[in-house]
Amino acid sequence: MKVIIQRCSSAKVTVDDDIIGQIDQGLMLLVGVTHEDEEKDADYLAEKIAGLRIFEDESGKMNHSVLDVEGAILSVSQFTLYADTRKGKRPNFMAAAKPDVAEPLYEYFNEQLRKKGLRVETGKFGAMMDVSLTNNGPVTLILESKV
């Protein structure tokens, strides 16, 4: 699994002009699933993300997690994270897991974040979505379950 994490002041996702997920302070996650991914990958990333100290303390140091600041998560499935652009001009998405594999693992990942006490809003799996956010910092990180 691969997750792009953006610390945000606010974020929202819309489908057909309807807001289906929205948060204020917290983390915007773009979540990609590949063929070999399993629940242990989702467990690892959920644990890492919930405890990741990327919010500033009183001294301006990154010492607080999303849990510490009582932030929320906006999680959006993003198969294009596994695009292969090495050949030609059109991306190849063969490394992205098929929806029947990716969707249950994506849902499992979100549930693991909820079990840690986080409020998790989501996009709509497989839908054409518009995502907007105010990236705070800006702070953007890439996490992978297999390195």
Active site members: 78-80
User: Of how many residues is the chain composed?
Assistant: 147
Q: Is 68 left (phi over 0), alpha (psi -120 to 50) or beta?
A: alpha
Q: Which of 137, 138, 135, 77 is nearest to 103 (CA)?
A: 77
- Here the tokens at position 57 are 């303390």
* Secondary structure class of 141 (helix, strand, coil): strand
Q: How far apart are alpha carbons 132 and 11 in whole angstroms? A: 6
